[in-house]
Structure 1
Amino acid sequence: MTVSNESVMTINGTEVCLQGCGLGVGQTVVMLHGWPDTRALWDGTVLALQDRFACARLTLPGFEQGPSATSLDEMCDLLRQIVDRISPDQAVVLLLHDWGCIFGYEFAMRHPTRVSRVVAVDVGDHNSRALLREWGAKEKLAVMGYQLWLAVAWLLGHRFSPSTGTRMTRAMARWLRCPTPPERISHLMNYPYAMQWLGAAGGFKHASQVKLAMPLLFVYGERKPFMFHSSKWLAQTAATPGSAVLGLPCGHWVMVSRPEAFHAAVRDWLDAPTLDRSAA
């Protein structure tokens, strides 16, 4: 199967790749990746959804070129421009992974009328007290260790030696068994970690606690040393009318490790009628 109706437009300096059916008239799915990926992460997902939905993808600004870091406000402003341009008359579906979840959640909470549903992969209530309480000392040290390493790699690459920063980044990607080819990975992709730990671009101190006004499908990998969601949040999501959760026997990159199960779940959930939460 090949991707249909492929086109690229540039919005505020960011390329947005548009593929699939019904662009401008049907439901549009906007896909946001995380570290250390690009819009290529969603190649298989576009193939799975293109006959039913219009698919829009972008590589996060700064991950390949452009600004050294994009603040949370700037990212939300960019996403608003993209959504208003590609789907001016209808709310879109957000399909999110990793850091794409963090940026996408914030956009959805700031602009709830522009988002009809959210599919989030492997990152849930990332900044909640419930999650922090569930992590033990081992989990906290593991998270801090790899994230600080990547934050420092970004800082070194940004200010002193791009080659050193990139070598550090690729070493961590190998250790985390990231499926992205090493030659596509650089220190540029680490700026969200620098935002988290070093306060770059204003950091995430103003990020809201994750509470979405629209239905959510949350899919996560069950085989990881620690989770990026709390059990309390998972139960609340599962009990919310119109929302659902799905755990799959794999790691962080669910769409790569279990593509058939993941894509079937996304299609089935998006094909189901939307429930009005206000009437629940």
Structure 2
Amino acid sequence: MPTVLNVQGLEVWVEGNGPTVVMLHGWPDSPALWDGTVAALCEDHRCVRFALPGYDLKQAPRPVSVDEMCALIAAVVDAVSPDEPVTLLLHDWGCFFGYEFAARHLQRVSRVVGADIGDTNSGAYLKSLKAKEKCMIAGYQLWLATAWKLGPLWPGLAHRMTRFMARQIGCRTPPEQIGWQMNYPYAMQWFGSLGGLRGVARVDRLLGPQLPTLFFFGKRKPFMFHSARWLAQLATSPGCEVKGLDAGHWMMKQKPAEFHGALRAWLARTSPHSGSGNTA
């Protein structure tokens, strides 16, 4: 049974023994995204997970800024591993917030595993997108950002909009677990809500150059969330590895054996460090 901590109102689950791995999910998921991953790692790793603020629909909406999110992650890391840096395991918006936390608290992070979201704030990525791909990205993200804006006034409509889009993009989370409260990162990106996303760290200057990184991406998607140039750069960086899977966005669910096998192998080949970027 997991140990459950309360950190600034977040219910934090801790399971297993060994080096600490902090898992951050994205939209529109929950800590249950990592059920299979915890089962695969908990014999020799200490697995930590929690719902991002606002993503537990049993609680009141809790949108947070980038600064507030990084402070919450820092509080969790300090609570579960006060003396040693942690490995971050990230997916979707969990990647965005986890990368920013790592950039601000490099000494608290030993390694990073990112799933499907890479250098989306780099010039190389923006240049790599075709016009059709840009329209597709803007279309679903603006839809969700608008649903978040409508939520306080028309929650029923906002829920239906959010669940509709989740179905459209192939999300496997049960509809009753998806709500408009989860959409605030899209409103941050497109409307500048909660201070927006300006000034965040460049991922291509963080992962690889400063931190050992394993990056997974799904090959079966209408567009990618990384540039080919960054992927090649990462693949040749010491201590780093790139793994493309024949899957969509939720590869840990769609290809669990391949995902968890590659994850375990990479964790075994690298060792936690004190933020210097070195590997064993």
- Using the size of structure 2 for normalisation, the TM-score is 0.94
In the alignment, the residues of structure 2 paired with residue 205 and residue 186 of structure 1 have an alpha-carbon distance, to the nearest angstrom, of 26
Answer yes or no: is 1:238 the counterpart of 2:235. Answer: yes
Output the aligned Cα RMSD: 1.5
Following superposition, the deviation at residue 142 of structure 1 comes to 0.2
Query: 202, 220, 226: which one pairs with 1:209?
Result: 202
Contact 1:20 1:52 in 2 (8 A): yes
Aligned to 1:46: 38
Q: Which of residues 82, 88, 93 is equivalent to 2:87?
A: 93
Deviation at 1:68, TM superposition (A): 3.6
Q: Identify which range, 95-104 or 55-64, moves more after superposition.
A: 55-64
**Structure 1 counterpart of 2:266, from 262, 266, 269:** 269
- In structure 2, distance between residues paired with 1:187 and 1:233: 33
- The one-letter code of the counterpart of 1:93 is T
User: Could you list the runs of 5+ residues in structure 1 that have no partner in the other structure?
Assistant: none
For residues 273 and 204 of structure 1, the distance between their equivalents in structure 2, rounded to whole angstroms, comes to: 32
Corresponding residue for residue 84 of structure 1: 78
Deviation at 1:67, TM superposition (A): 4.6
Indicate if the aligned counterparts of 2:119 and 2:227 stay in contact, CA closer than 8 A: yes
1:199 aligns with 2:192: yes
Q: Which amino acid aligns with 2:150?
A: L
Give the superposition deviation at 1:126. Answer: 1.3
How far off its partner does 1:206 sit?
Answer: 1.8
Out of 47, 51, 55, which is 1:63 matched to?
55
Give, as a single letter, the amino acid of the residue that structure 1 aligns with 2:169. Answer: L
* TM-score of the pair, normalised by structure 1: 0.94
The one-letter code of the counterpart of 2:12 is V
1:34 & 1:273 partners in 2: Cα distance?
25
Structure 1 position 222, deviation (Å): 0.4
Specify which of 19, 24, 28 is matched with residue 36 of structure 1. 28
* Alignment correspondent of 2:5: 9
Paired letter, 1:217: L
What secondary structure sits across from 1:166 in the alignment? helix
The secondary structure found in structure 2 opposite 1:251 is coil
Seq. identity, %: 55
Q: Secondary structure at the match of 1:77?
A: helix
Distance 1:96 1:240 in 2: 20
Check whether the contact 2:216–2:245 (CA below 8 A) recurs between aligned residues: yes
Contact 1:68 1:191 (C-alpha < 8 Å) held by counterparts: no
Task: Identify the match of residue 133 of structure 1 among 127, 130, 138.
Answer: 127
Aligned partner of 1:190 among 183, 190, 202: 183
- Change in CA separation of 1:173 and 1:92 when aligned onto 2, cut-off 3 Å: same
CA–CA distance in structure 2, aligned partners of residues 239 and 202 of structure 1: 36
- C-alpha displacement of 1:273: 3.3
Deviations 1:84-105 (A, max 9, x none): 1110111000000000000000
Alpha-carbon contact 2:214-2:240 (below 8 Å) kept: yes
Q: Identify unmatched segments of 5+ residues in structure 2.
A: none
Structure 1: which amino acid aligns with 2:219?
A: E
CA shift, 1:277, in A, is 4.3
Separation in 2 of the partners of 1:261 and 1:89? 32
Kindly state the Cα deviation for residue 9 of structure 1 after the two structures are TM-superposed. 0.6
1:96-111 residue pairs with structure 2 within 5 A?
Answer: 96-111=90-105
Decide whether the 8 Å contact of 1:218 with 1:246 is kept in 2.
Answer: yes
**Structure 1 residues 125 and 98: alpha-carbon distance in aligned structure 2, compared to 1, 3 A threshold:** same
Post-superposition CA distance 1:197-241 (Å, at most 9, x none):
011111101211112211000000001000000011101110100
Distance, in Å, in 2 between the alignment partners of 1:13 and 1:229 is: 33
Partner Cα distance (2:181, 2:199) in 1: 23
**1:43 corresponds to which letter in structure 2?**
D
Measured against aligned partners, the alpha-carbon deviations of 1:44-101 in whole angstroms (never above 9, x if no partner) come to: 1100101010000010001123454111000111111111111011100000000000
1:94-143 alpha-carbon deviations (Å, 9 max, x no partner): 00000000000000011111000000000000111111100010000000
Secondary structure in structure 1 of the residue aligned to 2:199: coil
Runs of 4+ in 1 over 6 A off after TM superposition: none
Determine if contact 2:217/2:249 at 8 Å carries over to the other structure.
yes
